[in-house]
Structure 1
C-alpha cells in the first residue's frame, strides 16, 4: 500500500512540475426541515484534481464524501462516497471567463441509506449504489492566472439508482436537470 501511495505522490509532483495540473474542488452544507420531522443537515467535500492536455481539453477526477440521500429515495440522510472521472472541453475562453462542459461518469455509494421498502418488500436500512453518465456544463471565472472560481450548472444524461439488496430493481432516469441539487461552486488552483 505504501508503494502505491508513494507512486501516486511521485506522479502528482511530476505532473505539477509541468505547470498543467489544477487542484481544487467544492464544499457545501445545507440544513432542511419538513413538518413533523427533525432537521437534517447535509454536507459534501469533493476535492478535485485535473490535468490540462492543451488549451481546450483537460482530464480530471472528483473523489469525495458527504452526507445526503439519493433523490429517488425519500429517506433520511446517510454518508456517501463519490468518484467521478471526466474529460473537460473548454469551448469559450477569455481573459476573465471560460465556459466548459465536463463529460464523464460517476459512482456514488450511500451507506445505510435507510431504504425500508424496495419493490414492496421491507428490507430495513440498506445501502444504495448510484451510477451516472452525462454532461455537466460550467463556468470558470479567472480571478488570477493561478486561481479560478468554478461553477457547474446542471446535468444532462443518465442516472441509475439501485438499493444494495437481492431482488432490488434499478431506477433509471434519462434527461436534463437544472435544480439546486446539480449546482456546485468551487475554487481551482492552477500550477
Structure 2
C-alpha cells in the first residue's frame, strides 16, 4: 500500500512540474429573505484537469449543492433541505486562441443525483457539449465561463417502475451560465 501511495505521489509531482495540471472550479452562495421566510443556496464545484497539449485537455468537475428553505407559520418554523451531488468528466478542445483569450468546447458525461427533502430521489445522466471561454489573467490564473449545453439527458426517479424522461436539444439562455477560476501549475 505504501508503494502505491508513493508512486501516485511521484506521478502527481511529475505532472505538476510540467505545468500541465490545473485546479479550480466554482462556488456559489445566495440567501433570500422575505417576511421571515429564508431560502439559502450553496454550491461547491471543484475541478481538476490535465492539459495534454495546446489544444486538448481532460478533466473532471465534481460537486455538491444544497438548497435550504425555512418557512415561518406563526410560532412554528418548518425547514427543508434539498441536496445534489454531481460529477462531470470531460475532454476539452480549444479551437481558437487570441492572445489571452481561448475559446473551447467541453465534451463530457454528466451524472447528477438529487435528494430532495420532499419527494423521490432523482438520477440524471447526460452526454453533451458545453461551449466556453477562458481569459488568462496571467501565467497561473484563468477566469473561465461556460454558456449553454447541446446534448442528451435522461432523468429518472429512483423508485421501482419509474420511467425515464429523455431530452435531446440545446440550451443557450442566460440561466445556463457558469463561471469559475483555474490555477495552472
TM-score (norm 2): 0.82
Q: Distance in 2 between matches of 1:15 and 1:186?
A: 22
Secondary structure (helix, strand or coil) at the match of 1:187 reads strand
Q: CA deviation at 1:19?
A: 1.2
Aligned match of 1:138: 132
Give 2:72's aligned residue. none
State the SS of the aligned residue for 2:19.
coil
Structure 1 partner of 2:169: 175
Aligned to 1:119: none
* 1:53 match: 52
SS of corresponding position for 2:92: strand
Query: Match for residue 22 of structure 1?
Result: 22
Alignment TM-score, normalising by the size of structure 1: 0.80
User: Would you say how many aligned residue pairs link Structure 1 and Structure 2?
Assistant: 174
2:110 to 106, 109, 112: 106
Match for residue 118 of structure 1? none
5+ long unaligned stretches in structure 1: 69-75, 116-125
CA-to-aligned-CA distance 1:145-177 (integer Å, 9 cap, x gap) = 111000011111111111111111111111111
Residue 82 of structure 1: aligned partner? 86
Alignment partner of 2:14: what SS? helix
| Alpha carbons 2:81, 2:116 under 8 Å: kept | no
CA contact (8 A) 1:109 1:128 kept: yes
Give the 3 Å change call, closer, same or farther, for CA 7–183 of structure 1 in structure 2: farther
Structure 2 distance, partners of 1:51, 1:8, is 15
The structure where strand makes up a greater share of residues is: 2
Summarize deviations over 1:8-41 as a string: whole Å, max 9, x none: 544332311221111111111234689x994432
Question: Could you say which structure has the larger radius of gyration?
Answer: 2
Q: Note the residue ranges of structure 2 that are not aligned, 5 or more in a row.
A: 68-79
